[in-house]
Structures are given as C-alpha cells and as structure tokens.
Amino acid sequence: MGVFRKFLPVLCPRDILNLAKGPQINTFSSLRPHLRNREFCAFFCGYTRELFMFENPEAAFGSTNHLLELIETIYAAVQQPELWTNVLEGIARNIHGESTTLFARMPDDQLFSMTRTDPDAWNAYAGYYSAVNPLMQRCDAMFVDGEVRYAHHAMPDRDLVKTEFYNDFFVPYDMHYSMGIKVPLRGDLPAAYITCQRPHAKGPFKEHEGLVYQTLLPHLRRALSLHLQLMQTNSRILGLEAALNAFDHAVLGLDQDGKVIFTSGKAEALVLADDGVRILNRQLALLDSAQNTRIRTAIAEAINGQFAVSPASTSLLVRRRSQAAPLQLTVVPYRSLLPGCSMLAALVFIGDPTLRPPSKAAILRALYGLTPSEARLADLLAEGLTLQEAAGRLRLALETVRFHSKRIFAKTGARRQAELMKLMLTLPSV
C-alpha cells in the first residue's frame, strides 16, 4: 500500500483510465521518467494485474473454463454434499491457500466441509480455540457479511503474534494469514462461513485472491440456500413417511402419473407377499383383471379430483391368490399445502383383515397406567376376543381375566368392550 501511495500521483488521469486497456508501458507519457526505477516497474505491473483481474474476474481462476467448472461443482454439491470438498479444493488452489473450511448452521443440522486441513487442527479449534479466536472478533467488527475478510487488515501481525491463539494454534499447524467470507443466508439464519489460511512464507492474501471469493459469492449463496431448501423438503417428506408408516394400514403414495413413489413398511411387505397386490412398472396392479381396470379408473379419478372441494374416495375388496379374506383397498386424493410434498397426488390404503392389530400396550400403559398384564389383555379384547378366549390365550383363569378387565374399564373410562375397542382404534401405532 505504501508503494501504491508513493507512485500513484505520478500517473496522469488519462494514463490511469488507460491502464485497464492493456497498452505497452512505454506509451504512457507520465511514466517515461520512472521507467528505470525497478520499484516503480514492479508496482506498475502488479497494479495493472489487479485492474485486469477486476475487469476480467475469470483470470483469477486461470481461465473461463476453470471458473465455470468450479461454479458447476458448487451447484452439484447441493444434492451431493460430499462435493463441497472439491469446491473448497478449487478455492484453495486459486487463492494459493492451505487449510480451507466451510461451516453453515442449518435449522435441523449443520453443513461442514474441509480440505487441506489436519483433522487434529479442526478438533482443537472446535474444542477450544474457536472461543479465543481474536481474528473472528476483529473481522466481525471491520467487515460486513458478503465482504472479503482479510485478517491482516483487522489485526496487524505485531498484535497477532502475541496471542495465545496464534502461538498455541496457528504456529503448530503452520498457519499465519487468513482470508474468509461470510455468505449471507436467509434472515433468521447465521451466515455460512468460508475461511482459508496459509503460512507466513506465502505472504498476506491479496485483493486479486479475494476476487475469487467475490466472484463465487452469488453462486455460493444460491447453492447454500438451495441446500437448505432441499434439507427442509427432505425433512418434510421424512415426516410424512413417518406419519404414514404409523398407520395400521399399508400405504402407497402415487404421483400425478399414477406411479408409486412411496410405500410404507407394511405396503412393502404386502407387495413382497404377492397375494393380490403387485407393483408393475411402478404402477399398482391387482390379481383380478376386472378389479385391475377398476382400480386404474379409481386412481385416475382420485388424481384428477385432488383439487375438488369435496374430493371423493373409492374402496373395493381385493381378491387374493391365497383365497384368504380379501384385502380392503381405498384410494383417496391427496393435496398437500406443505412445500416438498406436492409430488404426491393420491394415497392408497390397504387393510389386511388376517393380520393381528399392532399392540397398543405401551401407549395404554403410558396414558392410563395399565399394568403389563392389563395392557396385554386390552390388546386381545381389541382384536375382538371374548374374555373366555382371552383367558385361554393368556393361560389365565377366567376370574383373573374378569378382574383385569374391570380394572381396564375403570382406568380408561370405557364401560364395555366395544368402547374399549373404539378407544384403542384412536391410538397411534408406534
């Protein structure tokens, strides 16, 4: 900067404007008296290089192709987070840096990646030195989010080398100079942070190296925002899947084309059994051809009617290869107001009357204070067994079962077995 202040006054306004045009140095009238000054020539070459870089930011990446490849990798990392390491490697290479890290705190998770970084160094930083990092505080005070943060501008070397952070952390890992940038995300989230360090021998980071950050900033911001949206979408989808998996029925989700895009655990087991229900070419298929035609019509009507004021559902009993009791199938339109769930257009619920209802014992014990014996009896009564049948299943005396049933009714508020069954049907399967 001292050299800059020393020699800039010798340039006339016309010559300053011509610097970005790239003519030969000896064409500048105001420069001729200084051409034999070696210090000035070094300054002039560096200064014109900086101007050229700002006019042509791709020059900081070696070529336009290298810049485009790095931008492409940034967007690919949205769906493949492991590629953030490649992004950081590209940044480190172009700014002649070493240890380079990315950290972003998301609502339900965090994104972290690093390259050219000793894992022990990161563990030491996260475990202690992040709390005593003077560079972070100084840079936060000097630079706004989205601005390249040159640590040596915020804290001179003479102050840095006196700190515990520098002597106990930077020195052992051969770090000295730092350059970073905080990437603004949406308003309620802290900015993501990219930082790079390099040894003292390489000198402080220059503005043309900071141009790498500035050029990539809009792409980093967009990619990190997309990553956040993808995480939220996946979270909603996983939440929906968890809810559907809690159903007593098997559940299949269909898209606008009637293709199966979701199967609950019970639905997968039903399809694998190949006893009345199949998935062929990602479409639901039934064993009976007439029923197969009917179900295709019902699915089409459900998809077309998903935006109706009162969408209708279709139900039918599905014949089975095993001649067991028919499956109970219902098709309903599905419309979600949640972003990320809009691909679902219809849901298919399939009940198997031959299956024993899932136990509600744990919930009954938690809600109503039933004992283990009472909870087991409640499960059997919910299946429709009589007290006599339940006594035989549990290998208990009938009088003992009667005593337990009275206790169950008293604790749950049910007055008869039918009311107990109704109550238990309202409880989720977990």
Q: Which residue ranges form the domains of the chain, and what is each CATH number?
A: 2-55 (no CATH), 81-233 (3.30.450.80), 247-351 (3.30.450.20), 361-425 (1.10.10.10)
The three-class DSSP label of residue 172 is coil
pLDDT digits (tens), the chain, 430 positions: 444 444 444 444 444 445 444 444 444 455 555 545 555 555 455 544 544 445 566 667 778 788 889 999 999 998 899 999 999 999 999 999 999 999 998 776 788 999 999 999 999 999 999 999 999 999 999 999 999 999 999 999 999 999 999 999 999 999 999 999 999 987 678 899 999 999 999 999 998 899 999 999 999 999 998 888 777 666 666 666 666 766 778 888 888 889 998 888 888 888 898 888 899 988 998 988 888 888 898 898 888 865 444 455 688 888 888 888 898 888 888 775 444 445 778 888 888 888 777 777 788 888 888 898 988 888 888 878 889 998 999 999 999 999 999 999 899 888 888 888 878 777 766 5
Predicted pLDDT at 25: 46
Cα angle for residues 326, 332, 338 (degrees, 5° grid): 140
Give the span between the Cα atoms of 105 and 372, in whole angstroms: 44
What is the distance of C-alpha 1 from the center of its chain? 43
pTM listed for this prediction = 0.54
Amino acid (one-letter) located at 77: A
Nearest one of 80, 81, 53, 79 to 67, comparing CA atoms: 53
Give the span between the Cα atoms of 331 and 351, in whole angstroms: 12
